[in-house]
């Protein structure tokens, strides 16, 4: 099963826009009500059974069942009788709001932190239409239940053989988007390691440096627009909350944030494609960039948003049939890529000069080469056990041959294109 998500801009009319916003508010209400039920149940378990309700507020019957997902979903039709407004929203969309809460709740149960929170006015920003009987997308319009046709900018066609499974309506600043999940009934094997390897080191001084010596400048989207944002935000802070002027100003700030976000994402995609043009295997560090975002260069780390970049590289590699893997990040800048000896240097030293073997290169390129070496090590150990089990599991002679057939022609193509 192959699933892709495409995001298209949609242009709802003023009436439709109003209706969307109202639906979001109704869904938010249902979400908050369901969360209140869960919270009451939890608090009810905390208080002692023999105390009266004056001392402890939440006394619920001890044998009351936990308000689970199915229970709350089954309660919706009943609730619609007492709150007719709930009936305005398509029922499946409303159900998704409850399901969304329980996704959050299960996550909290598994991880142990992140109790779901109440959503304030305007914090419910999307609606999910989970099922369609027939294709809702035509060339010019998106057809949704209870709201009708919305003009859509189908800037790229829906690929042949794919069916529309879900549509999520999103609001970003004053723009509306539809995230369309597409599914196709084919199974595609994950890309196998092959061809030219690239190690990628990311950093603030240069956005990325590869083991081949390719460098790209740091973009600093946020920094360039920060003064503008500062001005807008200061104006916003001086306005009466919830007034008309406040709302106008708030939109300006939101639009600027949206613009920064878009330019950054565009840059990341272009860089990722450039990496895939240069090689067949991409390796990156498995760093958790959130810790460094708390440090002195926090703002710049967040501006570059390396975490998002890695996710995008992973996706682009998958889409273009290139192999992607993360490698251990420890000490990549302190080792010599040629002889493996340790070369201690602090951040101010920009040149790698090995006293053991005399290898001299840029500091970041050395780090990239270390990452590449680790990646090759990783796949040589992984690949060994991988092919063996594949052979043992599958029908004899199918698994191994197929992977070879796939990887060989690709090698030829990339070599030709380079010439």
Binding site for Zn ion (CB under 5 A): 336, 338-339, 341, 354, 356-357, 359
Write b or e for each residue in 248-285: b if 16 or more Cβ atoms lie within 10 A of its Cβ, otherwise e: ebbebebebbeebbeebeebbeebbeebbeebbbbbbb
Least distance (Å) between residue 342 CB and Zn ion: 9
Least spacing, CB of residue 120 vs Zn ion, in Å: 57
Q: Cβ of residue 374: shortest distance to Zn ion, in angstroms? A: 16
Between 290 and 356, name the residue whose CB sits nearer to Zn ion: 356
Q: How far apart are CA 44 and CA 64, in angstroms?
A: 10
- Choice between 70 and 339, CB closer to Zn ion: 339
CB of 345 to Zn ion, least distance (A): 13
Closest CA to 272 of 262, 260, 263, 282: 282
User: In whole angstroms, how close is the CB of 162 to Zn ion at the nearest point?
Assistant: 51
Residue in 182, 167, 180, 181 with CA at minimum distance from that of residue 20? 167
C-beta of residue 31 within 8 angstroms of C-beta of residue 100: yes
> Cβ distance 276 to 322 under 8 Å?
yes
d(CA 376, CA 368) in angstroms, rounded, equals 12
CA atoms of 224 and 380, how far apart (whole Å) = 44
Residue whose CB is less far from Zn ion, 161 or 340:
340
Please check whether residue 372 is in contact with residue 211, taking contact to mean a CB–CB distance below 8 angstroms.
Answer: yes
Bridging pattern class, strands 281-285 and 126-129 = unpaired
φ, ψ (nearest 5 deg) of residue 312 = -70, -40
Nearest approach in angstroms of CB 350 to Zn ion is 17
Nearer to Zn ion, 17 or 338 (CB): 338
3-state secondary structure of 141: strand
Residue 163 or 357: the one with the smaller Cβ distance to Zn ion is 357
CB closer to Zn ion, 326 vs 338: 338
The owner of tokens 């029908």 is: 395
What's the closest the beta carbon of residue 279 comes to Zn ion, in angstroms?
24
Closer residue to Zn ion (CB): 318 or 359:
359
């Amino acid at each position: 099963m192959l699933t892709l998500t495409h995001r298209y801009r949609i242009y709802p009319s003023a009436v439709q826009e109003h209706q969307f916003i109202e639906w979001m508010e109704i869904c938010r209400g249902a979400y908050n009500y369901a969360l209140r039920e869960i919270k009451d149940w939890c608090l009810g378990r905390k208080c002692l059974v023999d105390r009266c309700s004056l001392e402890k507020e939440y006394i619920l019957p001890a044998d009351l069942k936990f308000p689970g997902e199915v229970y709350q979903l089954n309660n919706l039709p009943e609730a619609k009788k007492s709150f007719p407004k709930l009936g305005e929203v398509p029922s499946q969309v409303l159900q998704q709001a409850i399901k969304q809460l329980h996704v959050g709740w299960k996550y909290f149960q598994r991880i142990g932190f992140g109790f779901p929170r109440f959503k304030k006015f305007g914090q419910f920003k999307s609606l999910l239409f989970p099922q369609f009987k027939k294709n809702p997308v035509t060339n010019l319009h998106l057809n949704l239940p209870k709201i009708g046709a919305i003009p859509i900018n189908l800037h790229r066609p829906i690929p042949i053989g794919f069916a529309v499974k879900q549509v999520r309506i999103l609001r970003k600043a004053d723009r509306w988007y539809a995230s369309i999940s597409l599914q196709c009934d084919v199974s595609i094997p994950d890309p196998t390691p092959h061809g030219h390897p690239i190690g990628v080191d990311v950093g603030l001084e240069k956005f990325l440096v590869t083991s081949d010596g390719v460098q790209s400048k740091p973009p600093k989207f946020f920094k360039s627009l920060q003064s503008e944002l500062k001005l807008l935000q200061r104006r916003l802070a001086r306005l009466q909350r919830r007034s008309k002027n406040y709302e106008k100003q708030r939109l300006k700030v939101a639009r600027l944030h949206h613009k920064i976000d878009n330019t950054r994402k565009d840059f990341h995609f272009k860089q990722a494609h450039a990496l895939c043009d240069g090689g067949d295997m991409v390796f990156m560090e498995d760093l958790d960039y959130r810790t460094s975002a708390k440090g002195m260069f926090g703002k710049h780390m967040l501006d570059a948003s390396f975490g998002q970049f890695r996710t995008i590289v992973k996706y682009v590699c998958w889409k273009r049939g290139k192999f992607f893997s993360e490698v251990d990040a420890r000490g990549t800048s302190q080792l010599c890529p040629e002889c493996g000896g340790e070369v201690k240097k602090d951040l101010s030293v920009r040149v790698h000069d090995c006293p053991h073997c005399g290898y001299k290169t840029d500091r970041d390129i050395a780090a990239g080469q270390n990452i590449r070496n680790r990646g090759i090590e990783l796949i040589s150990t992984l690949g060994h056990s991988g092919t063996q089990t594949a052979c043992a599991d599958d029908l004899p002679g199918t698994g191994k041959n197929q992977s070879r057939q796939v990887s060989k022609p690709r090698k030829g193509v990339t070599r030709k294109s380079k010439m």
